[in-house]
Chain A
Amino acid sequence: MMIKQFLFVLLILVGAPIVGGLLFGIDRKITARMQGRYGPPFIQPFYDFFKLLGKEHIAVSRMQFVWIYGYLVFMIASLVFLVMKSDFLLLVFLLGFAGVCLVLGGFSTKSPYAHFGANRELMQILAYEPVLLLLAIAIYAQNGSFLISEIFRQDKPLLFTLWPLFLAVLYVLTIKMRKSPFDISTCHHGHQEIVKGVTTEYSGPYFALYHLAEWYEIILLLGIISLFWTNPLWVGILIALAAFLLELFIDNITARMTVGWMVRLSWSVGLILGIINIAYIYYTKGVS
């Protein structure tokens, strides 16, 4: 049993970046098509990744590498938590630590652009973290446990009761995928107003690590979304993929917004959705 689970986790850990990279390739291709372009090949992210691995090591400070490793490892750890069906709240905290690592990586250089990016990334954490924590609380309210395995044990999908939070999580997904209108701290498109935001000072292999972490992150986020329909799981995965496609549309029809706008929107709409949702669960289930 243990070995089987271990192998499964290992499989996910190896498979996640491959699928994540492909998803990013599809993202670039579809985005190109939406813009009337031909677009790069699907495996373009892997070309980028291996090219970056082969580049020279250059550094600005030693600490920034520590933090990028932290970002990667904490991202992988959160994915492991998801795969092992462990505690959802802890997963959110680990995800928060990953974000903090990225911010500190930006702060640990004396670069104005990285600083700007880091400050904005911090505001992004401020925008998405409450929604994820509210989701955790709502799951607790619904199932009486933060455990993801408990979600799998329920017959009734979470989406039926948690649909307001589902909308809020889509909002989080836009922020975490760094899609317009929230490609604020850094983004996947080449040239942007703050150079490359929080990743400005990363280059070569360390930038490749950042990409790797992003691939894990996309799988993690889609995994969280698929938790909304776990019985059967394939419906949840389809919902997650649909959400992914929706993000591509949102990305291409919106323009970048300001940080303040993002936080205000998140703290008003996102939180109100969350509060309504939790209030609804309390109304239907009652405080124990």
Chain B
Amino acid sequence: MPYMLPTILKNLFTGYATRMYPVQVREPFENARGHVVFLDDKCTMCGVCALRCPSVAITTDKEKNELAFYPLRCIVCEVCVQACPSDAIELIYKWRPSLYDKPVELHKSTRLTHLRESADKAKEGVEKAKD
């Protein structure tokens, strides 16, 4: 038992190891599994992420151009990040803040909107050309 004595004496007189969290925040590590964000301007609503997600945190509806993300279901496994063909999902190293309720993040892909608009324009152009 007394062999603990030097340790506690050292601790007592050399200060504490505590990081005073709210005041003193350490930056997250590289590649820490913080949380994922969706880049609407890159997403093509292809649905690969939704297919690969093990915990059904993502659902996509290409018709409505709607990607629903349930943050509280996400296990930050990074599968979606790796699976996304257009690099539209990014891993952020900082953790996601706590929540009072269970929100759903709804995403509309701006890229798909653009694509659709341009497709529509093209269609229009073709139809005009037909006319």
Contacts and interface: CB of A to CB of B under 8 A. Distances in A.
Contact of A252 (B8, B16, B17, B20): B8
Interface in B91-117: none
B18 interface: yes
Contacts of B1: 181, 253-255
Dominant secondary structure at the B interface: helix
A253 B5 contact: yes
A37 B4 CA distance: 16
Contacts of A39: 16
Interface stretch (A27-35, A150-158, A164-172, A280-288): A27-35
A95 B30 CA distance: 60
B5 A249 contact: yes
Nearest to A34: B8
B20 A38 contact: yes
A181 B17 CA distance: 26
A37 B12 contact: no
B11 interface: yes
Interface residues of A, number: 15
Contacts of A36: 11, 16-18
A186 to B, nearest CB: 22
B88 to A, nearest CB: 43
Contact of B2 (A32, A35, A253): A253
A254 B8 CA distance: 11
Interface in B1-40: 1-2, 4-5, 8, 11-12, 16-18, 20
A181 B4 CA distance: 14
B12 A33 contact: yes
Interface of B: 1-2, 4-5, 8, 11-12, 16-18, 20
Given A36-B16, A36-B17, A36-B18, 10 more contacts: A30-B12, A33-B16, A34-B8, A34-B12, A37-B16, A38-B16, A38-B20, A249-B5, A254-B1, A255-B1
The 10 lowest CB-CB distance pairs between A and B, nearest first, are A253-B4, A38-B18, A34-B8, A36-B11, A36-B17, A254-B1, A38-B16, A252-B8, A34-B12, A33-B12
15 contacts: A32-B16, A33-B11, A33-B12, A33-B16, A34-B11, A34-B12, A36-B11, A37-B17, A38-B18, A38-B20, A181-B1, A252-B4, A253-B2, A253-B4, A255-B1
